[in-house]
Chain A
């Protein structure tokens, strides 16, 4: 089944689903977070769609909202569909899909670890990659690096983060420009 047919079938049932046009890459459907579980359940169990395989699970921070991306594949019909759930930034919560696909377990833990997205009814929602007592969500765009972890400072003496260097350089350039502008103004006088 082609993308239009798949999206049309979903849209007929849930009119709030959007399928925006894309410049490049795969087309996808945007679904609201509270409806995601039933939509995915329908996609998995409907005999015509039958997306029995969840190929991966990813999270995206767009800056204004979070996406949870479910790339689906049907082994029987050999078609694919990209489903993206939209979550508000203030309270990123979504129903876990571990009941539908067991492999979502670790992927959801990773998304929780890096983005702080809470998956309701997940059997074991702990951090996966970072230490259990880690603070903050490192995948988010507004994440600030910690100064130290467990009493060990993150940077050695004389080391800087690259964005610190960029910031310092930008400030210096701005100051130089300002000084040049002032000198030019004085010359004109």
Chain B
């Protein structure tokens, strides 16, 4: 991907896509946003034992500095409009990870609840789904790796195939 010049050590040749993707995938700053028990797993993934910092992932308290939204937890219809609003405040390029059964499809609430959204992909486009109730930190890190693979395929002028339609708020 990167090629050192033989004569000058401080000059690097690379194509623009590879260079940009390299910086994007190694600085995925994620939004500190959790609504249920998945948030506990998200917190400990960020803490010292599993240490998301190793991959250049730093939690940001504001959506305006975040590249990645990890939807960790149950989303109700009332909360979904707020999630959408946070998502719209994030600058491009931006990605979404749906973490856990609740955010994927309603989880244990799918048969009983009138208020829980059956999958956050009804409101915002999702890049990676992580199953589990809640997923272990290893699973979350694996999901992040899948997202990095996806980012590596992206181009500056060439976008990923059109994202799935959502119903909107």
Contact = CB atoms under 8 A, between A and B. Distances in A.
Contacts of A165: 111
Nearest to A136: B114
B77 A159 contact: no
Closest 9 CB pairs of A and B: A162-B111, A145-B114, A131-B78, A156-B118, A152-B167, A149-B77, A152-B122, A159-B110, A151-B167
Contacts of B119: 156
A131 B77 contact: yes
Given A138-B114, A155-B110, A156-B119, 12 more contacts: A129-B78, A130-B78, A131-B81, A149-B77, A151-B167, A152-B77, A152-B123, A153-B122, A159-B110, A159-B111, A160-B111, A161-B111
Contacts, number: 44
- In this complex, the member of A145, A151, A155, A156 whose beta carbon has the largest number of chain B beta carbons within 10 angstroms is A156
8 contacts: A131-B78, A152-B77, A152-B80, A152-B122, A156-B105, A156-B119, A159-B106, A162-B111
Contacts of A159: 105-106, 110-111, 118
Contact of A161 (B81, B105, B112, B115): B112
A156 B106 contact: yes
B112 to A, nearest CB: 6
B38 interface: no
Chain A interface category by residue count: 20 to 34
A88 interface: no
A156 B113 CA distance: 13
B36 interface: no
Nearest to A157: B118
A154 interface: yes
B22 interface: no
Contacts of A138: 114-115
